[in-house]
Amino acid sequence: MADNTEPPAVRRWPHVLRLALFVAVLLGLFYLIAVTKVIDPAGIRSAVSATGPVAPLTYVVVSAGLAAVFVPGPLLAAGSGVLFGPLLGTFVTLGSTVLTAMIAALLGRRAGRASARTLLGPDWSNRIDAQIQRRGLWAVVGQRFVPGVSDALASYAFGAFGMPLWQMAAGAFIGSAPRAFVYTALGASISDLSSPLGYTAIAVWCITAVIGAFAAHRGYRGWRRRRKGGSLPGGEEGPTSG
């Protein structure tokens, strides 16, 4: 009887194409929103203000959707500070940040998880699942402290690797709290950055950046040590000679 089994390369190429298309869409959105800046933050603030008592909730939903398509988070957080002040604005920013993380992770999971697992194979997929179960929450927290990394892009990637939504929500809340205060407070004090609130926000930003850079450096060194020692994700040892 003839063997109709397709070779692995034939079975894999649709998943490669799907992931490539997903990444291309994300990069296109990033260029359109973050680089060409087609969205007017001032117009958004005016529209939200017109909603009256429900303006904080409106801004949570609107800014979460905008952040998911790569409107810069600091601009949205600053807008929250302008509209609602440093205290309420910080909670509005945090709510938006958590919702953005969940939206991006869910879309990443739906669009890329099946293809990513197929390309990685069952062994690596199971090892990644084990790492997510053990350290997933703190991976999200740590990413939020690393400067220069897009939270939305990272959330899409976490979702594609199967990060549970509760870990995304909790990790985003914990890890984003310092920066949520910083950017919201700076927006609230934009007319007088030399105020105590402005200085406090800048000091918190500096501390957060130092902690993030140190954590990233330590994580990279740990990864290099594990790689040289033949350790694989999941705690297994790599193949040894002899």
Tokens of 107: 């879309």
For 21-72, write each residue's pLDDT tens digit.
666 766 666 665 656 665 677 788 888 988 989 999 999 999 999 898 888 8
What's the whole-model pTM score?
A: 0.74
Q: Using alpha carbons, list the distances in angstroms from residue 11 to 116, 122, 157.
A: 13, 15, 23
pLDDT(127) > 90: no
pLDDT digits (tens, 9 = 90+) for 136-164: 888 898 888 877 778 888 898 888 888 88
List alpha helices for 50-150, DSSP H. Answer: 55-68, 73-145
